Amino acid sequence: MELAQPVHRPEHQRLTVAAAALSVLCVLALPPVVAGILDLAGPLDDRPRFSLTHRAELVSRLPGATVLQDSVIVTLTPEMHSPVMRPSQQVLPQDSAGQLVPLGVSGLLPMNPYLAPAGTRHLTSALWPGDKVFSNLGPLVVGCLPAVGAPGECTPTLLTQHASGYFLYPRSWGSSSFLEDGSVMQAEVFAIVGGQVVAGGLPGVETDRVEVRLVDGDSVTAFTTVSASPGDTVWWAATTKPPVQATAYDDAGSVIATLDLDPDDIARRSTTSTAGG
């Protein structure tokens, strides 16, 4: 199955984080569940060295490790046999009811033995948050997988993409009613290095225009797709400033739904009904 191409508008500038230009690793000040990084640093030997804890220094010697200022990021692949990428977590493209849609970010989570290469428990079980060690699980895509106990229905699900296939991402997205018939627009704000990604869904409505307003009054136009979940709109935007509101419009420019956003809250519900609601 080919990956679907999201709809986007020229005025939406995709966030690119150049690690060499970062003065602060923003993700470290954000909540412990972190979901993304857009561009990783270069090879370990090319990076300026900052002070690492002893435990982080040991992890930095692993294959796939990158030092980004005072932090270590280990890029996982299925060949490393991490528990998070065991065969039971693999998803086939044909399992998705809709097309698999890339989000343009990679999944980044604090490292623990479940999110680490096989054979490294002696290193990773001793890690503390202050060690600033993270696992990069690979590029994120969204697909609509069969809903448990509901034949014929599917649930939008985050996956990671690798050359050998797709794997479930160990992070839920949305509430139990996300994109269910009769529900309203929902979204989550994920922390990334250098900013945020806000990702949401609009059930029962297909639109290619969702505007995200930022804390300083600026706005960006979200990427949208109707391919991931048939009959629904999935949308997302990467921002360098906190998003505070998302508004979906129909082809005539009328408001379909408005959603107030708070990075500290999960799966915020829409403040207005969807069309026909």
Mean pLDDT of the chain: 76
Higher pLDDT, 54 or 193: 54
**What does the block give as tokens for 154?**
């599917």
Question: What type of residue is 89?
Answer: Q
Given pLDDT bands bounded at 50, 70 and 90, which one contains residue 161? very high
Given pLDDT bands bounded at 50, 70 and 90, which one contains residue 27? very low
Phi and psi (nearest 5°) for 21?
-95, -5
Asked if residue 15 has pLDDT above 80, the reply is: no
pLDDT tens per residue, range 89-145: 999 988 888 788 888 778 888 899 999 999 999 999 999 988 989 999 988 888 888
Asked if residue 184 has pLDDT above 50, the reply is: yes
Q: Tell me whether residue 276 is in a domain.
A: no
Low-confidence winner among 64-68, 262-266, 272-276 (lowest mean pLDDT)? 272-276
Residues of the chain above pLDDT 90, percent: 36
Q: Look at residue 270 in the predicted model and tell me its pLDDT.
A: 55
Low-confidence winner among 46-50, 229-233, 242-246 (lowest mean pLDDT)? 46-50
Q: 219 to each of 163, 170, 212, how far by Cα in Å?
A: 35, 30, 5
| Cβ-contact 158, 123 below 8 angstroms | no
Domain boundaries, position 134: 19-269
Q: Look at residue 121 in the predicted model and tell me its pLDDT.
A: 94
For range 62-91, the mean pLDDT: 93
Q: How many residues does the chain have?
A: 277
Asked if residue 45 has pLDDT above 60, the reply is: no
Low-confidence winner among 42-51, 130-139, 207-216 (lowest mean pLDDT)? 42-51
Q: Look at residue 146 in the predicted model and tell me its pLDDT.
A: 80
What's the rounded Cα separation, in Å, for the pair 268 and 177? 11
Given pLDDT bands bounded at 50, 70 and 90, which one contains residue 46? low
- pTM of the predicted model, to two decimals? 0.69
148 Cβ contact partners less than 8 Å away, ≥ 6 residues apart: none
Q: Tell me whether residue 192 is in a domain.
A: yes
Higher pLDDT, 215 or 101: 215
Q: Tell me whether residue 10 is in a domain.
A: no
If one counts the domains in the chain, the total is 1
Higher pLDDT, 225 or 174: 225
